[in-house]
Structure 1
Amino acid sequence: MSTNGKKKKPGRQVMRGSEYRTMQETKPVIKRKNSHVGVRATKAIFFSIGKVFLIICMILLIICCIVGTALTVFVMKYVDSDTGIDLNTLEVYSTSVVYGVDSNGEAKAMQSLHLNGRREWVDLAEIPQHVQDAFVYTEDERFMDHEGVDWGRTLSSFLKLALKQDASQGGSTITQQLIKNINGDFNNRTIDVKIREILGALQLERHNAKSSILEAYLNYIDLGNGNYGVQAAAEYYFDKDVSELTYAEAASLAATTKSPNNINILDNPERNKERRSYSLRKMLEFNSITQEEYEASLEEEIKVMDRKGDNAQVLETDNKVYNWYVDATIKKVQKDLMDQYGLSANEAMNKINGGGLQIYTTCQIDMQNYLEDYFLDDSNFFYLEQEHPPEGAAIIMDYQGNVQAVVGSRNKKEGNLVNSRATDDIRSAGSAMKPITTYAPAVNSDLITWSTMMVDEPKTTKNGKDWPKNYEQSWSRRGITMVDALTVSKNTIPVELLQRLGIDYCYNFLKNDLHISTLSNGIDKAEGLTLGMNDYGVKLDELCAAYAIFGNNGNYNTPKYYTKVVDMNGKVLLENEPENSYAIDSSSAYIMNKMMQQVIEAPNGTGRQARMNRFTIAGKTGTSDDNLEFSFVGLNPYYVTAIRFGYDQNDKIYTETEQRNIKYKVNKPQVIYKDIMTDLLKDYDSADFELDDSGVVQKRYCTVTGLLAGPGCSSKVGYYKESNLPNTCTGHYSSRTASNTDDE
């Protein structure tokens, strides 16, 4: 209680001075303490963030180091490895060339073969320096200084890619462009593809000399219109060898590389000229040409070959459709590559088309051109125009088996490696089989002579039927000599010879001695073998080669389309050595040749329409069942020729001797043979066969008995082996000497 007696108001306190001061001092201190805490907290937060950031940076740096190290190791291993492109073993696709023989007997390019366009490899030493400079200074002026990659241009190219701008040009060095051409990455220009190109370029430069890289580049570069490399392009655009190119022409080709389909001089001469000027300026800048040469080159009028217009000057060897000879040669080379090198069919064909092969054939180019033109002319075959004319084929070879010319159809050839009726088809040869199936082996085995007599009568088949009939559908049932039976093409006589010799003997003679490869029916149905019935077809070139023994002293040669195949490095891959083998003895060949001359010379000979005045001709006709197909094989002192004529659909052919259905009337193949040979041999010397006649004697024989003529015999001249002479006829003795009125 207060001394003054007043009551205090509740809640109010009176402070002493010291307490007030204490309170006043405490308040500010509390405020200052809160401010320091906030600063420290802020600093702590920033410190923590910085620490986290630093850790992240460290982690990223470590990752980058790891990745960078790994990438560096990978790149160095890749660059230093033997993986990637090796120019020493590079499979270079280069145009192959098929050569024929010209009128002077020299090898002449007949057809070029392409895999993916024309390409002809040429060594760097054969490419003039100014041509090399035109490409280097136009495409990659620092080529000799960098190690495969121009990093400044490459960075620019990547930036264009990142900004989705055109980066197809400007960044690639010559080394990178070479890789692009080899790998075929022309349109895929993504970042990963360019990275692979960079790595490949570094690797390529590490393991190969600049000269090797430049050589490959100049042979690989696309220069438009299906031409790859400077040699092919020089021939196509300027009809020149690369060694003959002027400065302006070299610059024109170098200008083309920027856009081969749009800036080549043939398709867009103005754009090519504009870009050509740039190339020439670069050549001047780097002292590849002088100021005077530069100015002259700018004004030079370049002569460009017209390869596309109405008067297009197509490359002589660049026919899109091969002739029949080239077709046959490619098929033979393909088979031989498969057999000798174990290649697949596709591998062998790629080798032929893109291996830069030089294929030397025995084709006589002028003869081949003539034969193809002849077979396309209907007037050579028909009296009247045909709606569906018969087909035809022909082959000509010499007596060493060298094929000189071949035609596989009477119609225009529309494609390559198509079916050929001369080399692919297995067709009936009719009676043209008789000399090689029975007469030749019968003479060779001494079963028969020129004048051996046999009766023209039906023979009995295995089932007991009378067979066969002759062409005239009858039998004379009289004796006939071998030479006469062959001359008029009797069917009964060769069937009897077949039976006497034995089917096995005749079959094996065809297969083993004459190398007829098409006797797929074996001997089960061989009764019709000698008549060339449809069960026993042959290829025309094999038939022709079989007949060649009668002009080659009995020696057989396999049909030969090429002599050798050389690769782009000069290595001989294939060589056709002579394959002369014994078929019949020379005496038998001589006698058979003389017998087949009667087919042509005798008044009743089936091949008399093939007779020629200046040359001795031997041969044999053939008609298949029901006139479905005609054949003729003719021999002259220079060539043996086989001709086939007939319908693929087995329609009947009517000849000029048949009056019905005149719209189908055609010439027989022996007429065609004479027509062809008259033209082909017009500049040849008249000649007779030059055969080995040792062991052969000329004797007169009795036309009644076939024995050697005695006094009083009506006789003719025949040819005999000294070791196999007939007896002398003793049934026609008279007081007069033998009449010569029937002599030939």
Structure 2
Amino acid sequence: MPNLRKTNVLVSTRDGISYIFQIVSLAVGFAILIITVTAAVIAILVCNDLRHVPDLAFLKDYHPNRTIQIFDHKDKLVCAVEQDVSRVVVPLKKIPLYMQQAVLAAEDRHFYEHSGINFKSLVRAAYANMQARQVVEGGSTITQQLVKNLFFLDTGRSADRKIAEALVATELEKRYSKPEILQIYLNEIYFGNGANGIQQAAQRYFGKNVWELNLSESAFIAGLIRSPSTLGSPEHRDEAILRQRQILDGMAECGFITHAQGQHAKFYPLYFHSSLEPKPQHAFNVYPYYVSYVLDLIKLRYPETVARRQGIKVFTNLDQVAQQCGEKVLAQEIKHAPAGITQEALIAISVKDGGVRAIVGGAGDYWTKQWNCATNPHTVGSTFKPFVYLTAFLEHALGPNSLIDDTPLTVHQVDSADYSPKNYDGKFLGKIPVRKALAQSRNVCAVRAAQMVGMSRVLSIAREAGITGDIAPNISSALGSSALSPLDLAGAYGTFARGGVVITPRALRRVESMNGELLENFDSDAHRVFPEEEVSWLVSILQEVVNSGTGMQARLGDRPAAGKTGTADKATDLWFVGFTPDMVTAVWGGNDNNLPIANKHVTGGTVMARLWRQYNKMYYSRVSVPPGAFLSSQNEGAVTDIKDLPDDSNSTAAHAVVEHKTAGRRRPKVVHHFRAPRMFSGHKPSNPDGGVAVRRAVGVTEYSWGR
């Protein structure tokens, strides 16, 4: 009879081994999967890193600072921008051997032995980092450092980036000799205190040319490379001297100098240049606000390796006549501005194609201020009211001739105190046509119109018109309590001027390489968002603003003009945004500290409308453009009345009833492409020219009075 116990033991053993084998197989398989996925992810990241590395052949004609050429809307060269006009490339033969050897002793003693990567240094650095539990040593060769400075300056020390650097360093070693690489490195590397390259370092620290440096000075400069911002400052001079002595010892260890030479150099006196501050040198001297805005756009779209290392041609929508007129008028008008107005800004945009023709971001010296008031937000005041009324037109809640109540109104809000808007003149006119309400910028009427359609709908229409900045969904936003930039407002008013066609404002037309290869083309994205007729109603009223309303100071004689004034609470921000049939121009005035302007007679209508007229008068006197005409509509509807809105805005039973001939027409369905919004919420509610000193609503209150 078989031994059942023995048989059971064997079976159990086999089952146990099988189970263990399965577990091990699963673990190995899982590990392989993890390794494969990790490798794949790293490979993808490395490929993405390498995507921005240009052909290394451009280093044959190495220049650390290629120009960015800026052209205007007629393809005429405006300026060539250089980041550092004082930077000079010095050939290796003019750099003292001591200087070269000091850098090798400090950064890469085996430079002439490796092929771009020093694996021993990498292992040593990895061990040091593990012991310190942080990155304390890089282990990078001079070739790798050069690659990082040329192509990966904006990045850290991630694994994929190190792999990418190593791959490019290896390729660089194949294409160029060691002396060529060292020459580029010495002319490229940063030495602190604004000194890029060895020649600037010699001049900045010792007031001499690089070929005049002695051993002691050479070791000092070489020691700055590891931590230029720290060691280059006078406050850390003792640390820099200690680093210099370490390098002199290293040079002796490498056999570059004798021990005695090193000791002598340690005690050789260093005479530092009296001023380490670099002299300010401007990269460009024409149209600084426009050019700097273009450079900011280029920086967002192109890596420095393309823009600076290889050079590019940037074709813009700049109109030099418009820009010159803007700069001249602002420089003249700021001298005569009322007390409290110390800054003004202007932006002009073509109605035809949305091209940004002029940007003047402030008064005074750009290089002192460098804050662009034309592209940064300010409280908009009553310049926002046209979006409220356009919404009412589109939703068939009102027509231009509808009567609306200009009578006392109290808005009861859940999350804040009651809100009672007042008109700038402190009066109430009773029932008045919508046309008059907007032309004379009556605040109460604008709030009632916003209640009819709901602020969420108003904000939606503003977005469709092209507004990209943040607008609070509160009823006070109907009077302009939020903040937008002149660029934003001018772009959206351009939609009015085109009869409902939106075009995103564009400063760029196309970008080319220095040899003429097209890198990117910026086509206008024109598409209709609003029906022509309702927009023509709004434009007709905005013409009345200029002809007989709050913006009469903006009249241009025989040239048609339309627009809207705006004044924030306490006159901290003054506006006029207007357009002719071919150009939209937004002008803003205020001060850098957002301080109120005490003079109650200072409004957007009295100050900025006049500035707007001065600019347009000068511009049209220098260009041959016929006056043109706006689109008009014969179908504005009869004079109709609306039922009184109850004072309590929380009532949901009341509805505004409006009759006009276009009732029932549907708005076209459109697709709109938005730019990235500027994250900025408004400050104070608006005041004159529409605005009113009101309490800002807390939280979101939705008003849905009839549609």
Q: TM exceeds 0.5?
A: yes
1:459 aligned onto 2:373: no
The share of aligned pairs that are identical, in percent, is: 18
CA contact (8 A) 2:325 2:618 kept: no
Deviation per CA, 1:167-187: give whole Å up to 9, x if none.
369xxxxxxxxxxxxxxx697
Going from structure 1 to structure 2, the CA distance change for 1:116 and 1:600 (only over 3 Å counts) comes to: closer
SS in structure 1 at match of 2:97: coil
CA contact (8 A) 2:66 2:311 kept: yes
CA distance in 2, matches of 1:665, 1:632: 6
Aligned partner of 2:446 in structure 1 is 494
CA distance in 2, matches of 1:446, 1:700: 11
1:576 aligned onto 2:522: yes
1:361 aligned onto 2:298: no
1:560 aligned onto 2:515: no
Aligned partner of 2:384 in structure 1 is 433
CA distance in 1, matches of 2:577, 2:319: 20
Alignment of 1:543-692 (within 5 A): 543-568=489-514, 570-602=516-548, 605-653=549-597, 657=601, 668-685=607-624, 687-692=626-631
Alignment of 1:224-239 (within 5 A): none
What's the offset of the Cα at 1:111?
Answer: 4.2
CA distance in 2, matches of 1:186, 1:370: 57
What's the offset of the Cα at 1:508?
Answer: 1.9
What's the offset of the Cα at 1:398?
Answer: 0.8
Going from structure 1 to structure 2, the CA distance change for 1:722 and 1:226 (only over 3 Å counts) comes to: farther
1:538 aligned onto 2:453: no
1:167 aligned onto 2:117: no
RMSD over equivalenced CA pairs, Å: 4.7
CA distance in 1, matches of 2:661, 2:184: 71
SS in structure 1 at match of 2:447: helix
Alignment of 1:386-401 (within 5 A): 389-399=341-351, 400-401=353-354
Aligned partner of 1:101 in structure 2 is 72
Alignment of 1:231-380 (within 5 A): 318-319=283-284, 323-337=288-302, 348=303, 352-377=307-332
Aligned partner of 2:37 in structure 1 is none
AA partner of residue 643 (structure 1): V
Alignment of 1:714-725 (within 5 A): 723=662
SS in structure 1 at match of 2:511: strand
CA contact (8 A) 2:467 2:489 kept: no
SS in structure 1 at match of 2:586: strand
What's the offset of the Cα at 1:647?
Answer: 2.7
What's the offset of the Cα at 1:577?
Answer: 2.2
AA partner of residue 337 (structure 2): F
What's the offset of the Cα at 1:560?
Answer: 1.1
1:87 aligned onto 2:35: no
CA distance in 2, matches of 1:691, 1:355: 46
CA distance in 2, matches of 1:259, 1:362: 48
Going from structure 1 to structure 2, the CA distance change for 1:369 and 1:216 (only over 3 Å counts) comes to: farther
CA contact (8 A) 2:546 2:562 kept: yes
CA contact (8 A) 1:614 1:686 kept: no
CA distance in 1, matches of 2:355, 2:337: 31
Aligned partner of 1:410 in structure 2 is 363
CA distance in 2, matches of 1:109, 1:608: 36
CA distance in 1, matches of 2:637, 2:449: 24
Going from structure 1 to structure 2, the CA distance change for 1:550 and 1:678 (only over 3 Å counts) comes to: same
1:516 aligned onto 2:468: yes
SS in structure 2 at match of 1:358: strand
Going from structure 1 to structure 2, the CA distance change for 1:624 and 1:570 (only over 3 Å counts) comes to: same
AA partner of residue 587 (structure 2): I
AA partner of residue 629 (structure 1): D
CA distance in 1, matches of 2:65, 2:556: 48
What's the offset of the Cα at 1:517?
Answer: 2.2
Aligned partner of 2:399 in structure 1 is 449
SS in structure 2 at match of 1:500: helix
What's the offset of the Cα at 1:359?
Answer: 2.0
CA contact (8 A) 2:81 2:283 kept: yes
Unaligned runs of 5+ in 1: 1-84, 121-134, 141-156, 158-165, 170-184, 229-255, 261-313, 338-347, 659-663, 707-719, 727-744
Larger-Rg structure: 1
CA distance in 2, matches of 1:110, 1:382: 32
Going from structure 1 to structure 2, the CA distance change for 1:381 and 1:588 (only over 3 Å counts) comes to: farther
SS in structure 1 at match of 2:362: coil
SS in structure 2 at match of 1:672: helix
2:103 pairs with one of 148, 164, 188: 188
CA distance in 1, matches of 2:660, 2:498: 17
Aligned partner of 1:697 in structure 2 is 634
Going from structure 1 to structure 2, the CA distance change for 1:529 and 1:705 (only over 3 Å counts) comes to: closer
CA distance in 1, matches of 2:196, 2:318: 27
CA contact (8 A) 1:98 1:326 kept: no
CA contact (8 A) 1:495 1:527 kept: yes
CA distance in 2, matches of 1:205, 1:686: 56
Deviation per CA, 1:319-357: give whole Å up to 9, x if none.
3697011222222333345xxxxxxxxxx4665444512
What's the offset of the Cα at 1:110?
Answer: 2.3
Deviation per CA, 1:236-266: give whole Å up to 9, x if none.
xxxxxxxxxxxxxxxxxxxx99789xxxxxx
CA contact (8 A) 2:455 2:478 kept: no
CA distance in 2, matches of 1:200, 1:471: 76
SS in structure 1 at match of 2:634: strand
CA contact (8 A) 2:84 2:283 kept: no
CA distance in 2, matches of 1:377, 1:688: 26
CA distance in 1, matches of 2:332, 2:515: 43
2:427 pairs with one of 462, 465, 474: 474
CA contact (8 A) 1:376 1:412 kept: no
Deviation per CA, 1:382-410: give whole Å up to 9, x if none.
36xx6x64322111111222111112222
CA distance in 2, matches of 1:325, 1:572: 22
CA contact (8 A) 2:401 2:637 kept: no
AA partner of residue 607 (structure 2): K
CA distance in 2, matches of 1:701, 1:191: 86
SS in structure 1 at match of 2:615: helix
Aligned length: 457
What's the offset of the Cα at 1:691?
Answer: 4.8
Aligned partner of 2:269 in structure 1 is none
1:114 pairs with one of 80, 83, 86: 83
CA distance in 1, matches of 2:445, 2:604: 30
Q: Taking structure 2 as the reference length, what is the TM-score of the superposition?
A: 0.55
SS in structure 1 at match of 2:479: coil
SS in structure 1 at match of 2:593: coil
Deviation per CA, 1:23-72: give whole Å up to 9, x if none.
xxxxxxxxxxxxxxxxxxxxxxxxxxxxxxxxxxxxxxxxxxxxxxxxxx
What's the offset of the Cα at 1:559?
Answer: 1.9
Unaligned runs of 5+ in 2: 1-53, 117-142, 144-169, 189-193, 198-208, 214-279, 643-658, 666-707
CA contact (8 A) 2:576 2:604 kept: no
Going from structure 1 to structure 2, the CA distance change for 1:111 and 1:88 (only over 3 Å counts) comes to: closer
AA partner of residue 498 (structure 1): A
What's the offset of the Cα at 1:649?
Answer: 2.9
AA partner of residue 414 (structure 1): W
Going from structure 1 to structure 2, the CA distance change for 1:493 and 1:394 (only over 3 Å counts) comes to: same
CA distance in 2, matches of 1:335, 1:86: 21
Alignment of 1:25-104 (within 5 A): 87-88=56-57, 93-101=64-72
